[in-house]
């Protein structure tokens, strides 16, 4: 009996010891570890997440939506609450279209409290994930960017990253306007990670819309024409701009090859670049109108001034030839421009002299930014007179030895088309670009009349004619510079023109980089100008004249 009582006493003592230990453990957890445990529990059950703002819409001048935001599903997870990562990965993989191994690495890392599993997927796939009811896996709503017209004006519009910030184009340059203000959201989850409470701590504010001067119909036609140029001549690239010369509004801006805006980052760097503002090239004969304008403005010549044009012209160590072989002839300034005579243009340039010539080149806006509201604009390259070599005045007046951008050339011709006044080119509607006088109205009219001859008999661009309209413009066929000189196989073919010539309301510039088969501006770029203008003139209800 004594032995039984002793055993009971030992058991009771052991029980008291265990109870005491449990009490001490509980006290230790409550007092010393309580804060840490509460924090860990809260971390698993309470999350503060960013509530992305809805991005503003980008539209064309008529309200056609070019870039919009829509709701999408984003799958998130707390790996600490995922009890069976392998099973969860196997169930998620076919729904969200990701490899099981990738999902297993994300879900199996219990050191992490929050991971993105899939971002900005279709809402229907998000609903399918919800129906799986996997502990620790949740679905939230997040805005994503969509481009309803696919490739239309993609290099101009740009792209948005997964995190909702603009990466290129207008999406990048107007980030502050478009983005809005992100908010914060507190999500409280139960023990298996399912949300039981969602509270917006700070509501998000949507971004503001941006309206462009682009006309989507003209933009679509311009891109279609460049696509034809791409198929026919297989160039490295091509660019076209359509402007209203009366106010600097850009109605279309297209680059070929096109880029899928929804997958912008997958395209090569050359294709992603908006070369209308970011690519510099030697303009060749389109620059001759600038040289002639300067000479007329300085009263060194008139449209009827006659120059003796020899078969070749020697300037320092450079021998200047014309596109077509000829003997000694006399040409007026108007004929020199219409026939695109290199020799005659250089003789006009020599009358100006290097310092006067340079002053007018810069007056037209070359060598500096046009301040167009498109990111990535290059300034081009224009040497100073002190940097000229002996043969520079044989190169520069005919558009060699300097580099310009397509938007600079368009802006220069804008001054000729608009009574000598140029407006800052722009694609954002609502601004008030200030006019800048470049040349006198009389000079502008004289040069415009001479540019009509380029499309007339003996001119270099009869292919650019449009029935019922009198047009003015200039072709360019420029050899591309290479180490030690100029390439004999790589050219830039271009054409810049405006219509109607006597009352210009439309300006179109086309540049084709390294066309194959034919290289001449009159054969490659002028027909593209003609197709674009033939559509845009009646579309804009511009009467013949």
Q: What is the 3-state secondary structure (H, E, C) of 24-91?
A: HHHHHHHHCCHHHHHHHHHHHHEEEEEECCCCCCEECCCCCEEEEEEEEEEEEECHHHCCCHHHHHHH
**Per residue, what are the HEC states of 445-501?**
HHHHHHHHHHHCCCCCCHHHCECCECCEEEEEEEEEEECCEEEEEEEEEEEEEEECC
Rounded to the nearest 5°, which phi and psi values hold at 482? -135, 170
Region 63-90 average pLDDT: 90
Angle at 519 between CA 515 and CA 524, to 5 degrees: 75
- At residue 317, the 3 state secondary structure works out as coil
The beta strands (E) that lie in 134-220 are given as 137-146, 159-160, 166-168, 183-189, 195-202, 210-211
Q: What is the mean pLDDT of the chain?
A: 89
Domain end point (choices 158, 188, 211): 211
pLDDT for res 471: 94
pLDDT for res 29: 47
Select, from the ranges 32-41, 223-232, 258-267, 457-466, the one with the highest average predicted confidence (pLDDT).
223-232
Residue closest to 229 by CA, chosen among 534, 486, 530? 530
Binned at pLDDT 50, 70 and 90, residue 461 comes out as confident
Could you tell me if residue 407 is inside a domain? yes
Whether the per-residue pLDDT at 38 is higher than 80: the answer is no
Could you tell me if residue 136 is inside a domain? yes
pLDDT for res 321: 94
Based on the fold, state whether residues 507 and 408 are members of the same structural domain.
Answer: yes
| Residue 375, both tokens | 């990111």
Could you tell me if residue 41 is inside a domain? no
Print burial letters for 422-447: b (CB count within 10 Å at least 16), e (below 16): bbbbbbbeeeebebeebbeeebbebb
Choosing from 189, 204, 254, 285, which is the catalytic residue?
285
Could you tell me if residue 10 is inside a domain? no
Q: Which residue has the tokens 């998130």?
A: 76
pLDDT for res 360: 98
Q: Which residue has the tokens 């960013």?
A: 50
Region 7-29 average pLDDT: 58
Q: Are 280 and 271 in contact (CB under 8 A)?
A: no
Q: Are 277 and 372 in contact (CB under 8 A)?
A: yes
For residue range 390-416, what is the model confidence (pLDDT) as tens digits?
Answer: 999 999 999 999 999 999 999 999 999
Based on the fold, state whether residues 189 and 244 are members of the same structural domain.
Answer: no
| CA–CA distances in Å: residue 458 to residues 329, 450, 452, 455 | 15, 13, 11, 8
Could you tell me if residue 508 is inside a domain? yes
Q: Which residue has the tokens 């679905």?
A: 139
| Residue 73, both tokens | 């599903």
Binned at pLDDT 50, 70 and 90, residue 41 comes out as very low
pLDDT for res 514: 97
Question: Catalytic site residue 285?
Answer: yes
Does 257 sit behind a cis peptide bond, omega within 30 degrees of 0 on the bond before it? yes
d(CA 73, CA 69): 13
Q: Are 473 and 464 in contact (CB under 8 A)?
A: yes
pLDDT for res 45: 59
Of the listed ranges 40-54, 65-79, 175-189, 454-468, the one predicted with least confidence: 40-54
Region 329-339 average pLDDT: 95
d(CA 530, CA 471): 10
Binned at pLDDT 50, 70 and 90, residue 190 comes out as low
Q: Are 127 and 74 in contact (CB under 8 A)?
A: no
> What is the distance in angstroms between the CA of the first residue and the CA of the last residue of the chain?
130
Could you tell me if residue 206 is inside a domain? yes
Binned at pLDDT 50, 70 and 90, residue 60 comes out as very high
Alpha helices, DSSP H, located in 380-432: 392-395, 406-417
Based on the fold, state whether residues 436 and 487 are members of the same structural domain.
Answer: yes
Based on the fold, state whether residues 426 and 277 are members of the same structural domain.
Answer: yes
pLDDT for res 14: 59
pLDDT for res 443: 98
Q: What domain range is 307 assigned to?
A: 216-539
Domains held by the chain: number: 2
d(CA 434, CA 91): 61
| Total Cβ atoms within 10 A of residue 345 | 27
Residue 188 sits in a domain whose CATH number is 3.90.1310.10
Based on the fold, state whether residues 191 and 242 are members of the same structural domain.
Answer: no
List 116's β-bridge partners, or say none: 76
Q: Which residue has the tokens 């481009």?
A: 147
Based on the fold, state whether residues 154 and 243 are members of the same structural domain.
Answer: no
Region 16-28 average pLDDT: 58
- Check residues 126 and 234 and name the one with the higher pLDDT: 234
- At residue 174, the 3 state secondary structure works out as coil
Q: Are 255 and 407 in contact (CB under 8 A)?
A: no
pLDDT for res 42: 46
**pTM to 2 decimal places:** 0.85
pLDDT for res 217: 98
Based on the fold, state whether residues 428 and 478 are members of the same structural domain.
Answer: yes
Q: Are 215 and 251 in contact (CB under 8 A)?
A: yes
Could you tell me if residue 447 is inside a domain? yes
Based on the fold, state whether residues 260 and 114 are members of the same structural domain.
Answer: no
Q: Are strands 318-321 and 312-315 parallel, antiparallel or unpaired?
A: antiparallel
Residue 489 sits in a domain whose CATH number is 3.40.710.10
Domain end point (choices 155, 181, 211): 211
State percent of the chain over pLDDT 90.
Answer: 66
Binned at pLDDT 50, 70 and 90, residue 243 comes out as very high
- At residue 292, the 3 state secondary structure works out as helix
Could you tell me if residue 4 is inside a domain? no
Based on the fold, state whether residues 220 and 197 are members of the same structural domain.
Answer: no
Based on the fold, state whether residues 288 and 250 are members of the same structural domain.
Answer: yes
Q: Are 177 and 56 in contact (CB under 8 A)?
A: yes
Based on the fold, state whether residues 308 and 245 are members of the same structural domain.
Answer: yes
Whether the per-residue pLDDT at 138 is higher than 80: the answer is yes
Cβ neighbours of residue 84 closer than 8 Å, sequence gap 6 or more: none
Based on the fold, state whether residues 294 and 266 are members of the same structural domain.
Answer: yes
Domain end point (choices 211, 228, 248): 211
Q: Are 214 and 427 in contact (CB under 8 A)?
A: yes
Whether the per-residue pLDDT at 111 is higher than 90: the answer is no
């Amino acid at each position: 009996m004594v032995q039984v009582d002793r055993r009971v006493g030992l058991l009771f003592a052991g029980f008291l010891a265990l109870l005491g230990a449990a009490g001490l453990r509980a006290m230790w957890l409550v007092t010393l570890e309580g804060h840490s445990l509460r924090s860990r529990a809260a971390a698993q059950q309470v999350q503060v997440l960013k509530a992305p703002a809805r991005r503003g819409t980008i539209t064309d001048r008529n309200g056609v939506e070019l870039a919009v935001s829509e709701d999408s599903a984003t799958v998130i997870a707390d790996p600490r609450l995922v009890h069976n990562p392998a099973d969860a990965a196997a169930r998620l993989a076919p729904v969200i279209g990701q490899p099981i191994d990738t999902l297993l690495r994300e879900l199996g890392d219990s050191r992490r409290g929050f991971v993105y599993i899939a971002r900005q997927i279709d809402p229907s796939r998000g609903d399918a994930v919800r129906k799986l009811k996997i502990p620790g896996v949740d679905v939230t709503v997040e805005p994503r960017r969509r481009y309803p017209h696919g490739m239309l004006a993609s290099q101009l519009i740009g792209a948005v990253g997964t995190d909702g910030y603009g990466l290129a184009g207008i999406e990048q340059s107007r980030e502050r306007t478009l983005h809005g203000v992100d908010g914060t959201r507190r999500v409280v989850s139960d023990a298996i990670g399912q949300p039981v409470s969602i509270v917006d701590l700070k509501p998000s504010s949507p971004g503001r819309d941006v309206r462009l001067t682009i006309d989507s119909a003209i933009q679509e036609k311009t891109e279609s024409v460049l696509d034809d140029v791409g198929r026919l001549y297989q160039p490295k690239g091509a660019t076209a701009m359509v402007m209203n010369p009366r106010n600097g509004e850009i109605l279309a801006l297209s680059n070929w090859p096109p880029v899928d805006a929804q997958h912008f980052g997958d395209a090569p760097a050359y294709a992603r670049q908006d070369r209308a503002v970011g690519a510099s090239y030697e303009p060749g004969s389109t620059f001759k109108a600038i040289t002639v304008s300067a000479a007329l403005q300085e009263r060194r010549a008139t449209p009827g001034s006659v120059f003796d044009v020899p078969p070749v012209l020697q300037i320092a160590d450079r021998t200047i030839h014309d596109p077509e072989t000829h003997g000694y002839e006399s040409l007026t300034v108007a004929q020199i421009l219409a026939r695109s005579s290199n020799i005659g243009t250089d003789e006009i340039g020599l009358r100006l002299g290097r310092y006067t010539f340079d002053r007018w080149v810069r007056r037209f806006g070359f060598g500096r930014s046009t301040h167009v509201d498109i990111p990535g604009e290059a300034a081009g390259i224009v040497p100073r007179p002190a940097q000229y070599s002996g043969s520079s005045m044989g190169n520069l007046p005919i558009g060699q030895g300097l580099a310009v951008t397509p938007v600079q050339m368009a802006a220069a011709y804008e001054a000729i088309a608009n009574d000598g006044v140029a407006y800052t080119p722009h694609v954002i509607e609502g601004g008030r670009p200030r006019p800048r006088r470049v040349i006198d109205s009389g000079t502008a009219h004289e040069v415009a009349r001479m540019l009509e001859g380029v499309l007339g008999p003996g001119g270099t661009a009869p292919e650019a004619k449009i029935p019922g309209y009198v047009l003015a413009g200039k072709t360019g066929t420029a050899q591309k510079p290479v180490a030690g000189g100029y390439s004999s196989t790589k050219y830039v073919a271009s054409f810049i023109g405006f219509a109607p010539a006597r009352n210009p309301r439309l300006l179109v510039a086309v540049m084709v980089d390294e066309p194959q088969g034919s290289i001449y501006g009159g054969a490659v770029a002028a027909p593209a100008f003609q197709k674009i203008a033939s559509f845009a003139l009646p579309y804009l209800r511009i009467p013949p004249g």
